[in-house]
Amino acid sequence: MTIPEIKLLLDKYKRNEISEEEYQQLLREVANEANADTIRQDIIETLYGEVPDSQWTDDDAAAVLTTILQDGREEYRHLRLVKRRQLIYRSLAAALVAGVLATGIYLAMPGKKPEKMVAVKKAPLAPGSDKAVLTLADGTTIPLDSAGNGALAQQGGTSITNANGALSYKAGNNDNEVMYNTVATPHGGQYQLTLADGSRVWLNAASSIRFPTAFTGRERVVEITGEAYFEITSNASQPFSVKVNDIQVKVLGTSFNIMAYADEQAVKTTLVTGAVQLTQGKNTSLLKPGLQASLSGDKGFVISEADMEQALAWKEGRFRFRNTNIKTIMRQLSRWYNMEVDYKGDVSDIDLTGVISRREEAEKLLKALETTQRVHFEVNGNKVTVSPSVPR
């Protein structure tokens, strides 16, 4: 077989798309010493992203590669040097050149269809990024993070463009055809949006906004879930309203933040500039700049002075905690880092204060929180277990 043909079989193997016949053919090529160096390089590139200077002999490489494709038993977890120069595979989770690489590989036994190959470095819990899904009026979905920059779609007379983590709607002249679109961010995602009237919206992780592609009639109305920050273009003849759950926020020209995640105890509206009126059933409240309205259940709005830095930190790329309970902190982190959180022991009295960049990897952030000596974290993949710190 040619080298490109061997690499094609390796690619099929890694994608779990290899047939039984091709699998047996690959095993034969592995056993062929003439191809050992090429196959070894491909496997190590998968593990490392580059080829380290392992200084393996041809015999060493052949022995390791044959075992990689023939033995997937769980007990094989480390590479060892046995009888001085004979390398035996135990899942490529150890150092090839004096360093240690945490990884896992699951492969089929000979004669069986192979399981999908997994060979990755122990990845940190990476921070979120600009990603979202746009759903058009006909149900078509477009992943915005992979859509590229430029013209994206046409909805009635409104054109949609995407550029650098921001979506823009531009209504044409006399566009009276109203269509509804939705932009939704996943856990670990955020996105910006400019509506057809020029109003700007920032969506936090695990949030969504449903809106018309053009604003007609007497008012402008959008619906959200999760958390969003608005900068509304002033138009006294066409008031702007945001619906969230059973709350309606009416505005003219203003900037404000709404936090309404389903796993939070209260819906919080924080006003930066202008004025808003909040309505839920018979409950009505008028907000002035610097104030925050909280609504929990049907108890009515509770108005208080807003901690602006804390409420708007996410939009500025930070986490801001001020005597914040660890469970509240972990809810924020779970949305941004797409992590699962579990608790061990009583953490109800652990309140922390600090400012941390949302661009940091999660494990670095967790270590920073551990320096308070109040809390301890165990990280296993994307699952984080939180427990009170044990005094030394």
Each residue's pLDDT tens digit, 47-94: 434 334 444 444 544 444 444 444 333 333 233 333 222 332 223 323
Rg (CA), the chain: 27
Picking from 261, 210, 215, the residue whose alpha carbon sits closest to that of residue 235 is 215
Cα gap 205→39, rounded to integer Å: 41
- pLDDT for 107 beyond 70: no
pLDDT at res. 174: 66
Q: How confident is the model at residue 195 (pLDDT cuts 50, 70, 90)?
A: very high
Indicate whether 387 pLDDT > 70: yes
Provide, rounded to the nearest whole percent, the portion of the chain with pLDDT above 90: 50
**Helices 326-337 + 362-370 axis angle, to 10:** 170
Residue 248, pLDDT score: 93
pLDDT of residue 146: 84
Quick check: 357 and 318 in contact, CB under 8 A? yes
Q: How crowded is the C-beta side of 250, counted as CA atoms within 13 Å?
A: 13
- Identify residue 26 by its one-letter amino acid code: L
Dist. CA 152–CA 140, nearest whole Å: 12
Output the CA–CA distances (angstroms, integers) from residue 164 to 148, 292, 379, in the order listed.
8, 31, 32
How much is the pLDDT for 98? 25
Instruction: Give 122-172 as a DSSP string.
Output: -------EE--EEE-TTS-EEEGGGS-SEEEEEETTEEEEEETTEEEEEEP
Higher pLDDT pick, 81 / 27: 27
Residue 283's DSSP bridge partners are 280
Q: Where are the alpha helices (DSSP H) in the chain?
A: 3-14, 20-31, 36-48, 58-70, 308-312, 326-337, 362-370
Can you give the pLDDT at residue 69?
A: 45
Question: Would you place residue 228 in the very low, low, confident or very high pLDDT band (cuts 50, 70, 90)?
Answer: very high
The mean pLDDT of 316-336, rounded to a whole number, is 95
Domains and CATH numbers, the chain: 3-88 (no CATH), 129-308 (2.60.120.1440), 317-388 (3.55.50.30)
Cβ–Cβ < 8 Å for 340, 378: no
Q: Find the mean pLDDT for residues 297-311.
A: 89
Residue 254: pLDDT above 80? yes
Q: Could you read off the pLDDT of 113-171 as tens digits, one per residue?
A: 444 433 334 456 889 999 999 999 999 999 998 888 899 999 988 999 999 889 999 98
For residue 38, the model assigns a pLDDT of 61
Amino acid identity at 202 = W
Apex 99 CA angle, 107 and 47, nearest 5? 30
